[in-house]
Structure 1
Amino acid sequence: MSGAERTLVGRKSVATREQKRDPDYFPGYASAIPLGIQHVLAMFVSNLTPPIIVAGAAGFGFGSADPAPLIYMIQMSMFFAGLATLMQTVGLGRVGARLPLVQGTSFAYIPIMIPIVAGRGPAAMAELFTAALAGGLVHAGLSRFVGRIRFALPPLVTGLVVLMIGLSLMRIGVQYSAGGVPAIGTPAFGSAQSWLLAGVVVVATLGLKFFACGIWSTASVLLGLLAGYVVAFAIGRISFAPVAEAHWAMLPAPFPFGFAISASAVIGFVLTGFVSSIESIGDVEAICEGTAGRRASDAELQGAVAADGVGTALAAAFGAMPNTTFSQNVGLIAITGMMSRHVVTLGAVFLVVCGLVPKIGALVTTIPIEVLGGGVIVMFGMVASAALSMLATVEWNQRNMLIFGVSLSLALGLQLEPEALAHLPQTAKVLLASGVLPAAFLAVLLNLVLPHATAEDVEEAQAVPAAV
């Protein structure tokens, strides 16, 4: 090895363990650019899935006569995810944790959004985005109290919330894999061809994740979707007409779907904003404890939740989905050991640029619904798996088991049997049947009011000294 080569190798390995754990450390563009793009690849599919799901529920999703509204929503999902990520990494006053947190469209809101728009077309999006704007503003205000309520959100609560998010979405994964929601999906719902396309995605994703290395493993979901797309193209399921018709540039437009107030929608978004903040708090705690080896500060937690709220409100004002921190990127940081916020900043800039090019969104709309379904099955399953990882840190005594069991049983039961709420007002039905909201609030309430020991435990503890 020549002297120049030894010098180059030395420069590549100058980052010490302490430097990698420092959010303000910059590893240089040669390392930061590929690491930043890797973050985008890890979140890209998850970021685009919620607008596609919501548009499909409203009735203007894949295969609709006019794909323009969906293309716009996809573009804005990329643009405002990048913008919200910049708020987290660079910061804006008290907004932003100044940590390597990647923002993206939130799965937590999907159980609330689908009942709002179901079968109503683009017109329903006015109520949805107006409610998201109000919820985002309340969410941002909630950040000021994070330090005071932190004690009420142990892993028992945050893990249950994330688990319910995953469980609430699994039905969608199966529906998409079979051809879409039965009423608006492909004519041959549940056909062998549909399951073939979804199966190719799942098999390719698992194969790359476990038998490949580097970027091939990290971007396994994205590459699995590409494999399913290739098979779909081979059997004649792909049409590039939307790409040819799409423009090369697009700018955000304020309230593109209009402005309309729905009390039930506003209440749903405000309450779900609280749930989303629980999820974000868990992500910040995970990145600080898992990578930096320290607890997150109150300022970091407040900044992260504030960026969630401001990012959601800003996105809603321009027709984009609500934002939250992405857990899969927290896991990616744990794998790489690189906690530099500047790396994520470069990835955010890339997202912003992608959001301004409609050809990208139009290309996404050419993906068959079954191909997306295969990726969704993997992603939603991983959400539930991440929840189990969080719950593994819980001390499973009788008290915690009862809190978890009662909260999960009631929340999941109401979601599976919403007709049990038939005599309640519509707003209450939407909120209680969401699964996520009742689980979160019941777990928080029980965790606060139930003693840490039963009366029987206290009597036994008092009887021991007397017996001695």
Structure 2
Amino acid sequence: MTDTALGTPEQLRDPDYMPPLAKAVPLGIQHVLAMFVSNITPAIIVAGAAGFGFGSNSPDFPEMIYMIQMSMVFAGVATLLQTIGIGPVGARLPIVQGTSFAFLPVMIPIVAGQGVSAMAGLMGGILVGGIFQGFLGTIINKVRFALPPLVTGLIVLMIGLSLVKVGIQYAAGGVPAIGTPEYGSLQNWFVAGVVIVVTLALKFFARGMLSVAAVLIGLIAGYIVAIPFGMVSFGNIGTAAVFALPDPLHFGLEFHAAAIIGMCFMGVVSAIETVGDVSAIAKGGAGREATERELAGATYADGFGSAIAGLFGALPNTSFSQNVGLVAMTGVMSRHVVTIGGLFLIVAGLFPKVGAAIATVPIEVLGGGVIVMFGMVVAAGISILSDVDWNRRNMVIFAIALSLGLGLQLEPGALQHLPGTVKVLMTSGLLPAAVIAIVLNLILPQELAPEATEEVSGGLAGHGRD
């Protein structure tokens, strides 16, 4: 329900309308709170996968602080590209950009266990992949036919399934703790459980901002519980700099085939996600269809924003769907409100003490939060798949793509004889599943015997659509 003091119904549907500043600033900060945890989590996960960042005694701990800092800065920069725009770049709609979970299944194998030295290759892939995605804006309206709900739903589902293991590992004590007596302790699971319970309670029984920021508040609750257990160390906050600008080529740049191919492919996925978000925000906020210029501009900003991030040691960005829902909830379509949120992100990211404070969050607390978030990714994929006509053809495509993709991810040793680059791409699981689904969807005939649906499913789909 909208506040009449914000403006008339016609004004609230206008992206160019600026509400009174006293109302616009809280609305902008609300957008930041809705995406804040999701935005910084990928940086922590990538740092952990690379093998640096956890524990204040780690010599590479400041690098994780820097990545958290850049996650905020370049989410803000990419958001401004969308809301303000430069030439054809930017949809000029209230679109919030943030660090993308979707790229994690590809980024984790690229950096796994290799430390800070692996980041240069990742950044090279992000740069090239971002540029590639940016140029997809010129053809994005022509390639959407190749990615129906069967394909996009499978991709989103695979992203979530590839990440749920990370959530469990973090809640149990983190990857470095695997095999130790502390791993999976009752204390660890209690702290993670507090996050999950508080998040669910607020999401389902609270209203307004308490519901919107449920994950953030759940993490704060878990953090408070973790303090008396001695799981929180504040030492690095005092030693962190007060103010620091982004450092160009902080990790350097290297160009490796696996990183480039993986990032380019995920750029296609991110572009399609952004097109969906732009369409939803135009329909839900303004009651109209998105224009081709808006769709192309959003894709340009999505890709080029990621490329710029890679130059400064940050991770790729994409549009955040939770903020699309927030626009529909508040009824405020103003892009200037989101611009305020983007500026807030940039300012917060310029103060390393903010990143150092975030880095004190115990991995078990973060685990409770990401169990919820990654589970929601899986649920989002299932929701998309609910629009699929589950005939024999589509069931076979889904079955083969999921079986091979998930199977290779669960048993990477099955590909031990492949060259390094191909092995990294195949064992991500996501890439083979997506490629198989896209190719089969394009080449298999649409008409297949409908009675075979029961034959394949054992009768479970007997009452489904043909």
TM-score by structure 2 length?
0.91
SS state at 2:183 partner:
coil
Note closer, same or farther for the CA distance 1:403–1:15 as it changes in structure 2 (3 Å cut): farther
Conservation of the 8 A alpha-carbon contact between 2:177 and 2:183: no
Matched letter for residue 169 of structure 2: Q
SS state at 1:375 partner:
helix
Note closer, same or farther for the CA distance 1:352–1:13 as it changes in structure 2 (3 Å cut): closer
2-structure distance, mates of 1:77, 1:131: 17
* Equivalent in 79, 87, 99 of residue 85 of structure 1: 79
Equivalent residue number for residue 320 of structure 1: 314
* Equivalent in 369, 379, 398 of residue 373 of structure 2: 379
1:414 Cα deviation (Å)?
1.5
| Equivalent residues, number | 448
CA deviations on 1:257-282 (whole Å, 9 max, x unpaired) are 12222222222212221222222222
1:141 equivalent to 2:140? Answer no
1:50 equivalent to 2:42? Answer yes
* Equivalent in 58, 61, 70 of residue 53 of structure 2: 61
Deviates more, 1:63-72 or 1:400-409: 400-409
1:11 Cα deviation (Å)?
5.7
Note closer, same or farther for the CA distance 1:208–1:10 as it changes in structure 2 (3 Å cut): closer
Matched letter for residue 351 of structure 1: L
2-structure distance, mates of 1:320, 1:35: 26
2-structure distance, mates of 1:425, 1:432: 11
1:451 Cα deviation (Å)?
2.3
**1:221-260 equivalent positions in 2, closer than 5 A:** 221-260=215-254
CA deviations on 1:134-156 (whole Å, 9 max, x unpaired) are 11111112221102112222222
Matched letter for residue 38 of structure 2: S
1:125 equivalent to 2:119? Answer yes
Matched letter for residue 32 of structure 1: A
CA deviations on 1:411-438 (whole Å, 9 max, x unpaired) are 1122112222222222112112212222
Equivalent residue number for residue 5 of structure 1: none
| Aligned Cα root-mean-square deviation (Å) | 2.0
Deviates more, 1:309-318 or 1:153-162: 153-162
Give aligned-pair identity as a percent.
62
1:295 Cα deviation (Å)?
2.9
Whose radius of gyration is greater, 1 or 2? 1
Listed as ranges, the gaps of 5+ residues in structure 1 are: 1-8, 458-468
* Equivalent in 287, 309, 321 of residue 293 of structure 1: 287
CA deviations on 1:359-403 (whole Å, 9 max, x unpaired) are 100001111100000000111111122222223333333333333
Note closer, same or farther for the CA distance 1:282–1:246 as it changes in structure 2 (3 Å cut): same
2-structure distance, mates of 1:442, 1:393: 20
1:184 Cα deviation (Å)?
6.8
1:25 equivalent to 2:17? Answer yes
1-structure distance, mates of 2:281, 2:367: 29
1-structure distance, mates of 2:78, 2:398: 33
SS state at 1:234 partner:
helix
Note closer, same or farther for the CA distance 1:398–1:298 as it changes in structure 2 (3 Å cut): farther
1:438 equivalent to 2:432? Answer yes
2-structure distance, mates of 1:185, 1:81: 36
Note closer, same or farther for the CA distance 1:122–1:182 as it changes in structure 2 (3 Å cut): closer
**1:9-408 equivalent positions in 2, closer than 5 A:** 12=5, 14-16=7-9, 18-63=10-55, 64-66=57-59, 67-182=61-176, 188-408=182-402
CA deviations on 1:8-62 (whole Å, 9 max, x unpaired) are x99616421x433332232222222111111101110011101101111111122
TM-score by structure 1 length?
0.91
Conservation of the 8 A alpha-carbon contact between 1:138 and 1:309: yes
* Equivalent in 390, 395, 413 of residue 407 of structure 2: 413
2-structure distance, mates of 1:408, 1:334: 33
Note closer, same or farther for the CA distance 1:20–1:387 as it changes in structure 2 (3 Å cut): farther
Conservation of the 8 A alpha-carbon contact between 2:6 and 2:23: no
Matched letter for residue 277 of structure 1: A
SS state at 2:98 partner:
strand
SS state at 1:324 partner:
strand
SS state at 1:248 partner:
coil
Deviates more, 1:327-336 or 1:344-353: 327-336
1-structure distance, mates of 2:335, 2:6: 19
Note closer, same or farther for the CA distance 1:354–1:142 as it changes in structure 2 (3 Å cut): same
Equivalent residue number for residue 424 of structure 1: 418
Equivalent residue number for residue 453 of structure 1: 447
Matched letter for residue 413 of structure 1: G
Conservation of the 8 A alpha-carbon contact between 1:83 and 1:352: yes
Note closer, same or farther for the CA distance 1:289–1:190 as it changes in structure 2 (3 Å cut): same
1:305 Cα deviation (Å)?
1.4
Conservation of the 8 A alpha-carbon contact between 1:175 and 1:182: no
Conservation of the 8 A alpha-carbon contact between 2:392 and 2:450: no
1:240 Cα deviation (Å)?
0.8
Conservation of the 8 A alpha-carbon contact between 1:163 and 1:387: yes
1:182 Cα deviation (Å)?
4.5
2-structure distance, mates of 1:389, 1:214: 24
1:204 Cα deviation (Å)?
0.8
Equivalent residue number for residue 462 of structure 1: none
Deviates more, 1:227-236 or 1:438-447: 438-447
Deviates more, 1:103-112 or 1:414-423: 414-423
